Chain A
Amino acid sequence: MGNFFTLISIENMKLWKRISAKVMLIIMIVLIVLATGIYKYYTVSNHISDTTTTSTTTVTTDASENWKQDLQKKIDADKVQLTQEENSTNKMVATSVGPMKKTLAEDEYRINNNIKPESKESIWTRVTYFYTNGFSGLVILFTVIACTASVAGEFSEGTMKMMISRPYSRFQILSAKLIAIIIYGIVLVVTTFVINFLLLGILFGFDGISSKEMIWASGKISYEPAALKSLILLGLDSLQAIVFIIVAFAISAISRSRSIATGFSIFLVLVGAGIISLLAQFFTWGKYLPFAVTSFASYISSGTAVGGTSLSFAIIISLLYSALFCFLGYFIFQKRDI
């Protein structure tokens, strides 16, 4: 019987032999260095980190008891705003209900558990900020490109027929590709995260490496190590990447044309998903559309943006759609003459 792991290693080898795979990894590393460097330059030239942190620390040490009163005032004001937002008919206003609830819950948790606001950003906050706001999108883009090259590319190059007439089933061939692409994605994620973490640490210090942070999940706050929170957010971002990989994978297997698959998938990643999530904010049925609620990490990092959804809802909906796309891709690939 054909060894499936051999097939995965073959796909992995073919993927990395493409120049684009290496170039994308290099682009990623260059961008990390650039972005972190520019950020450091910006903070140094504006004396942001130095002045603000020192001043706040002095203020908080002096008025260490005042922060509770200040925070309570903010909470009261926020509560008023929340009721306004909740009663508002304006759909745009409604999108800030979720984030507002999250802020309120966090502030109340601070007061109840006597947790002072952090005076200085921890390394985990920084690295997560960089990742979820920038690099996660690039990881999606790059893995989608690798995916369409590996699946639709083989049709366009004519090598797919060389793969099919082998002692392996079509199911095995397609699955090996999917796994190899996910491995490529993992390599991108880990490289990005590690390099960015080290660079930020070297440039800004590894402060707060064992600090704790609040995690906002399913309407509750829990106080956990910041490292764990970073890992959870990273995992959720990777899950989002997998949703897009599966769609690109299905489109590739169905269209069999590299240009169509790449073009369509990138459009979906860059524009389509944004439009659909806008629809979800304005129409109640919108949240059931594919890609309406795929930014899983935002449920924890900034609160629910789409009314009537939760993280588990988002994951289940995306799982169902991914299963459907997967099924279509496999089904058509199995049946079709090549």
Chain B
Amino acid sequence: MTNVVLKIDKLKKVIGKRIIVSDISMELNTGEIFGFLGPNGAGKSTTIKMIVGLSKITEGDVFVNGLSVKDDFKGAMRNIGCIVENPDMYKYMSGLDNLRVFGKMYKNVDEARINEVVKIVDLEKAINDKVKTYSLGMKQRLGIGQALLHRPKLLILDEPTNGLDPAGIKDMRNLLKKLAKETNLTVLISSHILGEMQQMCDRVGIINNGKIITVKTVEEIINMTAEDGKTVLLVKTDNNEKAAELLLSVNINSSVMSDGVHVETTQEHVPEIITTLTTAGISVYGMDKQDAQSLEDVFMKLTGEEK
């Protein structure tokens, strides 16, 4: 129990007669980054809103650090920092004033802590500017800043990479990883961008049509593709057309793409591919496992099965 920071217990949300989510159960442990994955409208935001009290819980309960959101809302909220939907801050105030406003709501936040957080999210230069002058990336960082102020056990970020450029995404990823590692912060992060999650998260939960489909570590999920035997290899050669033809002739499924030859195969066939190509006089420049695609494949397969 002590190790579980967030426990979601058979959560259900009904609006009118429509069941938005049902039977959502998950447990998040200290210091892990947990990805909450699902297509748009799958119920990610609804679940998160129920955790932070924006949406009323129809059935079930959520425990944050052992405190029930239903019975001890204030206690539970003291352990959560969050950004839901967009990092909406008070635009007419400076970043610093925003942090002061939110910091005042907790007993353990003083001016020194606010300065510390400004450093953590790297906003020292712009902190005295009005938030309306901020870029989206800066708003995201300020949002994370206000969520970290009171040193919560759990950080909840709803689609935090939406609208960020690749550099911004990378910065955020590094920041979250650092926080999880150094301060034992638990992070629940929702997204529909799969590549993201794979690089950031320890475990992922996949949700579709309001139901949790699977909760697994990233490796387990990637290995799921290995279990059914097939991965996609990107092979780069000096003659892609010829290579694809050759491989097809030895019954290895392959196709020519703009970036090289995509070969669908299993691990034990890899030496065979290399020999086939080299004996035919084709120079092989590189071979890559299409890892970035694999989570997406699983995801498509899993969410596809549901339909």
A: which residues have CB within 8 A of B? 1-2, 6-7, 9-10, 13-14, 17-19, 157-159, 161-162, 164-169, 335, 337-338
In the complex, chain B residues 79-134 whose Cβ is within 8 Å of any chain A Cβ: 80, 82, 84-86, 88-93, 97, 100-102, 104-106
Taking A167-B106, A168-B105 as given, write out 11 further A-B residue pairs in contact, using a Cβ cutoff of 8 Å, ordered by the A residue number.
Answer: A1-B74, A6-B105, A14-B101, A18-B92, A19-B92, A158-B88, A161-B84, A165-B77, A166-B102, A167-B75, A168-B77
B15, B74, B100, B146: the one contacting A162 at CB < 8 Å is B146
**B303 to A: closest C-beta gap in Å:** 25
A13, A157, A162, A165: the one contacting B53 at CB < 8 Å is A165
A13 contacts across to B, CB distance below 8 A = 97, 100-101
B146 contacts across to A, CB distance below 8 A = 162
**A164 to B: closest C-beta gap in Å:** 5
> Which B residue's beta carbon lies closest to that of A20?
B92
B90 contacts A159, C-beta separation under 8 Å: yes
A6 contacts B104, C-beta separation under 8 Å: yes
B91 contacts across to A, CB distance below 8 A = 157
> Which A residue's beta carbon lies closest to that of B55?
A337
**A332 to B: closest C-beta gap in Å:** 13
10 shortest interchain CB distances as A-B pairs: A158-B88, A165-B52, A167-B74, A337-B55, A167-B77, A338-B54, A167-B78, A166-B105, A17-B93, A159-B88
| Bound CA–CA A76/B49 (angstroms) | 74
Q: List 16 A-B contacts (CB under 8 A).
A: A1-B74, A7-B105, A14-B101, A17-B92, A157-B91, A158-B88, A161-B84, A162-B88, A162-B102, A162-B146, A164-B53, A165-B52, A165-B82, A166-B105, A167-B77, A168-B105
A169 contacts across to B, CB distance below 8 A = 73-74
| Bound CA–CA A158/B158 (angstroms) | 14
**A134 to B: closest C-beta gap in Å:** 29
Residue B173 at the chain A interface, CB threshold 8 Å: no
| Bound CA–CA A19/B92 (angstroms) | 8
A18 contacts across to B, CB distance below 8 A = 92
Please encode chain B, from 56 to 90, with 1 for each CB lying within 8 Å of some chain A CB and 0 for all others: 10000000000000000111011010101110111
A338 contacts B55, C-beta separation under 8 Å: yes
A7 contacts across to B, CB distance below 8 A = 105
A17 contacts across to B, CB distance below 8 A = 90, 92-93, 97
A9 contacts across to B, CB distance below 8 A = 104
A2 contacts B53, C-beta separation under 8 Å: no
A161 contacts B85, C-beta separation under 8 Å: yes
A168 contacts across to B, CB distance below 8 A = 74, 77, 105
Q: A1-B74, A337-B56 are in contact. Are A162 and B89 (CB under 8 A)?
A: yes
B106 contacts across to A, CB distance below 8 A = 167
| Bound CA–CA A45/B98 (angstroms) | 53
A337 contacts B49, C-beta separation under 8 Å: yes
**Interface size class of chain B, counting residues whose CB lies under 8 Å from the partner chain:** 20 to 34
B52 contacts across to A, CB distance below 8 A = 164-165
B92 contacts across to A, CB distance below 8 A = 17-19
B73 contacts across to A, CB distance below 8 A = 167, 169
| Bound CA–CA A162/B91 (angstroms) | 13
A14 contacts across to B, CB distance below 8 A = 90, 93, 101
| Bound CA–CA A164/B52 (angstroms) | 8
- Which of A14, A18, A19, A335 has the most chain B CB atoms inside 10 A of its CB? A14
> Which B residue's beta carbon lies closest to that of A164?
B54
| Bound CA–CA A225/B300 (angstroms) | 83
A335 contacts B56, C-beta separation under 8 Å: yes
**B87 to A: closest C-beta gap in Å:** 9
- Which of B52, B82, B88 has the most chain A CB atoms inside 10 A of its CB? B88
> Which A residue's beta carbon lies closest to that of B101?
A10
> Which B residue's beta carbon lies closest to that of A157?
B88
> Which A residue's beta carbon lies closest to that of B86?
A158
| Bound CA–CA A161/B50 (angstroms) | 12
| Bound CA–CA A236/B100 (angstroms) | 37
Q: A157-B91, A167-B74, A337-B56 are in contact. Are A2 and B86 (CB under 8 A)?
A: no
- Which of A2, A7, A161, A165 has the most chain B CB atoms inside 10 A of its CB? A165
| Bound CA–CA A167/B102 (angstroms) | 11
| Bound CA–CA A295/B78 (angstroms) | 46
| Bound CA–CA A89/B55 (angstroms) | 58
**A151 to B: closest C-beta gap in Å:** 14
B84 contacts across to A, CB distance below 8 A = 161, 165
> Which A residue's beta carbon lies closest to that of B84?
A161
Q: A17-B93, A165-B53 are in contact. Are A2 and B105 (CB under 8 A)?
A: yes
A157 contacts B90, C-beta separation under 8 Å: yes
B86 contacts across to A, CB distance below 8 A = 158
| Bound CA–CA A164/B69 (angstroms) | 13
| Bound CA–CA A238/B206 (angstroms) | 57
B15 contacts across to A, CB distance below 8 A = 337
- Which of A1, A2, A6, A167 has the most chain B CB atoms inside 10 A of its CB? A167
A19 contacts across to B, CB distance below 8 A = 92
